[in-house]
Structure 1
Amino acid sequence: MNPIDESKRIDTLDYLRGFALMGIILVNILPLLSVKSPDPHSLDAAYQRFLYLLVEGRFYTIFSFLFGVGFYLFISRANQKGKNTTVLFVRRMLALFIFGIIHVQFHPGEALTVYALCGLFILPFYNAPKTVNLVISLPLLIVFAIFSIKLFMTLPLMLLGIAAGQYRIFEGISLPLKKVTIFTVLMFLGSMIGLGYQFQHAPEVLWKGKIEETQRFLDIGIAIGPMVSGFYVGLLLILLRLSFVRRLLSPIKKYGRMALTNYILQTVFILLSGSLFRLFARISYIQSLYLCFVIYVVQFIITIIWIRYFKFGPLEWVWRMVTYREVLPLRGTIKDRQVNV
């Protein structure tokens, strides 16, 4: 069975994946290194509030949405090549589940196993009309957000991604700037109202004092998460219309091309740093930010060099081989390396 020729990458999705990954690590590093709780009225306490206002629950939603978009594109391209889409996709999700099972041994609460299971569940929705997927996903997302059921929000976010794929929002079709701007402004206004309300309930330090206050603060954050994420996505789509922004953010695009590899490597570098420098339960919130910046630089360098010589990231390569059950060439022509997923 020959692999699908994904002859044209959708660069916008790579920018968004890379952007989401950069936000995810800022939160994931906290439990992995058992980051110390900050002292009240400190810079660490201010950064903690920043994380839970603008980062926590904002980037996994983007990643879940993009998973749905990628699901639609994968199935569509398989159909165009006359492949057995069900068999291909089940193998693809099985491989992702195995990656997740291994990863969860080192990173409890990681997302790959959840994505794999949700992926199997949403498979029938590919053939549903786009309006149906939109009508199902939006109310479900709103309900789960209102009740702050973070885990359950993954599914409607993926369905929303499928609907976006069906509407061909990212598939080589430029959305009118006016529509993107209106969407972004609406998300911004909703986010400002929601964040203002959440900030009013922000404790000086999370989990110190009344647990109910912290939980209320976090629940509000989950509820407004999709709006804030929508604003981030809309703003990035507007900025990416500028050529100098695309060039400036080129490393993020490459980072997103190897999203699976870099997601796993984030955990590797965090735990490796913790072991080598004895950071577990000793590092502060601000120090965790500094460490994330170092990991960004290291991963960007590795990614840029790797993409220069190889068609796929290493884990993406393994993932494709399991999907298609054949050994695929890792190296290729410059054109191959520019266009292959």
Structure 2
Amino acid sequence: MFNAATVRFDSTPPDADGRAKPRIGELDAVRGMALCGILFVNIPPLLRMDLEKLPIPHFLDLFVQQRFFPIFSLLFGVGFGLFLASAWNRSARPRLLLTRRLLALLGLGLLHQILHPGEALAPYAMVGLAFLLPLSWANRWVNLVVGAGLIGGSLAYFGGGVANIPGLLVFGFALAQFDVPRMLPRLGWAIAAVFAMSLAGAVPALIIQDQDPLNAGFSTSSGVAGFCLAVTYITGLLLLLRTPLRRGLGGVLEPIGRMALTNYITATLLVIPLGHLIGLHESNAYGAMLLLALGILAVQVLWSRLWLAHFRQGPLEWAWRCITWWQVLPLRRGARGA
């Protein structure tokens, strides 16, 4: 359970005094990386592209499909945990705020489902209401064990995929309870060790998955490979962010990660009309699909950087926060609370 010993019940919303909350840049970068990968696997089903085993879709099955979705799910769990921990210090009813936040996400997800059946936001909200709210009363060790058990069970019986959402959200929630996100700068050797172990597990799992390509995404080997590669990608990026590459990687990934909700939704709004315009609908033109994805990501990086130069959050992130706190909060940089 979150420690309530230091709770201030003053109902003060974030940024109400005009000060921006400090962000965890590594989380934004990892979230941005996840969004990039998700876009590549979302375009084919959105445009009903031919999924025959051509080289590009086969490559995506091995290294992208179900590799970035777990990262996105885990980070949503972390985000809910960080939010609730922060809300304890600002409201007498933090769980009411979390409930409102989840219901707002559910509404947005259901609207998004109209254009993108199978999208992630509505399941995140429903799992949050069913699992995270009750488990917010539980000890952090209990949540860690529950999350790990749910992940293991989904991999063993369902091959991961959407079935992994409860475990990943709960596990991420527990990581926030342990304050792992803010400890990242001090976890260099631990991150390197996890990177080595996850990579060692991913290699044989990928080899086994490749023996049964028709069941990619539905088999245990595919789920294990996806989970191991997801951990490898997370820890690999965290290690790269400790090198001189930090400035370049952070400059590209952090802005789109800070506006993850806005960019996730707007990607759908861009893919459908542009994909039809260039003839990708029901085609197998995967080369053009890659170019479309890269073009959308370039636009999102540029517009995220420009937007965040003037505003504190993305437009959907801001609206989500206003609904959560049920008041209009400042958006423009330098503005005081309404």
Would you call these one fold, judging by a TM-score over 0.5?
A: yes
Distance 1:258 1:280 in 2: 28
In structure 2, the residue corresponding to 1:105 is in which secondary structure? helix
Matched, 1:24 2:35: no
Shift of 1:200: 2.4
Q: Do the aligned residues in 1 keep the contact of 2:280 with 2:288 (CA within 8 Å)? A: no
Any stretches of 5+ residues in structure 2 without a counterpart?
Answer: 1-10
Does the C-alpha gap of structure 1 residues 259 and 114 become closer, same or farther in structure 2, counting only changes over 3 Å? same
Matched, 1:325 2:335: no
Distance 2:68 2:160 in 1: 16
Number of residues of Structure 1 aligned to a counterpart in Structure 2: 319
Structure 1 residues 1-341: aligned runs within 5 Å: 2-5=12-15, 7-38=21-52, 45-121=54-130, 122-147=132-157, 148-202=159-213, 214-215=214-215, 218-219=218-219, 220-282=221-283, 284-333=285-334
Higher relative contact order (CA 8 A, sep 6+): 1
Deviations 1:25-82 (CA, angstroms, capped at 9, x unpaired): 10000011122345x6xxxx11111100111111110011111111111001110123
In structure 2, the residue corresponding to 1:141 is in which secondary structure? helix
Shift of 1:216: 6.1
Identity %: 35
1:206 aligned residue: none
In structure 1, the residue corresponding to 2:253 is in which secondary structure? helix
Distance 2:118 2:127 in 1: 15
Distance 1:324 1:35 in 2: 41
Q: Do the aligned residues in 2 keep the contact of 1:311 with 1:330 (CA within 8 Å)? A: yes
Distance 1:146 1:270 in 2: 34
Letter in 2 for 1:144: S
In structure 2, the residue corresponding to 1:264 is in which secondary structure? helix
1:339 aligned residue: none
Distance 1:240 1:216 in 2: 31
Any stretches of 5+ residues in structure 1 without a counterpart?
Answer: 203-213, 337-341
Does the C-alpha gap of structure 1 residues 217 and 244 become closer, same or farther in structure 2, counting only changes over 3 Å? closer
Shift of 1:89: 0.9
In structure 2, the residue corresponding to 1:170 is in which secondary structure? helix
Shift of 1:243: 4.0
In structure 2, the residue corresponding to 1:143 is in which secondary structure? helix
Distance 1:181 1:218 in 2: 30
Shift of 1:262: 0.1
In structure 1, the residue corresponding to 2:245 is in which secondary structure? helix
Letter in 2 for 1:9: R
Does the C-alpha gap of structure 1 residues 217 and 326 become closer, same or farther in structure 2, counting only changes over 3 Å? closer
Distance 2:153 2:321 in 1: 36
Q: Say which is worse superposed, 298-307 or 29-38, in terms of deviation.
A: 29-38
Letter in 1 for 2:207: G
Q: Do the aligned residues in 1 keep the contact of 2:202 with 2:224 (CA within 8 Å)? A: no
In structure 2, the residue corresponding to 1:9 is in which secondary structure? coil
Distance 2:320 2:93 in 1: 17
Deviations 1:133-173 (CA, angstroms, capped at 9, x unpaired): 12111122112102215222101111110121122111155
Q: Say which is worse superposed, 137-146 or 189-198, in terms of deviation.
A: 137-146
In structure 2, the residue corresponding to 1:330 is in which secondary structure? coil
Letter in 2 for 1:124: P
Q: Do the aligned residues in 2 keep the contact of 1:201 with 1:217 (CA within 8 Å)? A: no
C-alpha root-mean-square deviation of aligned residues, in Å?
1.9
Distance 1:306 1:138 in 2: 38
Deviations 1:194-240 (CA, angstroms, capped at 9, x unpaired): 011112223xxxxxxxxxxx126741312332111111111111111
Distance 1:290 1:173 in 2: 34
Q: Say which is worse superposed, 3-12 or 69-78, in terms of deviation.
A: 3-12
Q: Do the aligned residues in 2 keep the contact of 1:130 with 1:166 (CA within 8 Å)? A: yes
Distance 1:216 1:232 in 2: 19
Distance 1:77 1:65 in 2: 18
